[in-house]
Amino acid sequence: MVCASSRELEMSNLTALSPLDGRFWRKFKELASSMSEFRLIYFRALGEIKWLPKLSNTLSKSLKFQALAKKLRFTCKAMEKIEKVTNHDVKAVDYFLDQKCESHQDIAKV
């Protein structure tokens, strides 16, 4: 059996990474918004933001991160861009949040 290289293959049911994004895509496409790479990155960032109030309790009780967490705007595209440099998705979220928090004096200390 002769197989073409992955670069020569066109997307089809036979070249999909799994049956979920191949032959079963029509049945499972609604899950993509919950199970996608986008959602993974989103919830990683959200988890880190929710961790900040816990961290602040040990460092300084005066810091109020709950309000800040609501103010932080983040996009998965920005984190994806950082990940291309770091080659590490979790570290990309960390670097992204560091960048976002630099402009907030209270949180930059943490």
Q: Domain-by-domain residue ranges, the chain? A: 34-109
Q: What's the pLDDT tens digit per position in 14-71?
A: 888 888 888 888 898 888 888 888 888 888 888 887 777 776 665 554 455 555 555 6
CA distance 90 to 45: 9
Output the pTM of the full model: 0.62
Say if residues 106 and 63 touch (Cβ distance below 8 Å): yes
Measured CA to CA, the distance from residue 13 to residue 25 in angstroms comes to 9
Contact 52, 107 (CB under 8 A): yes
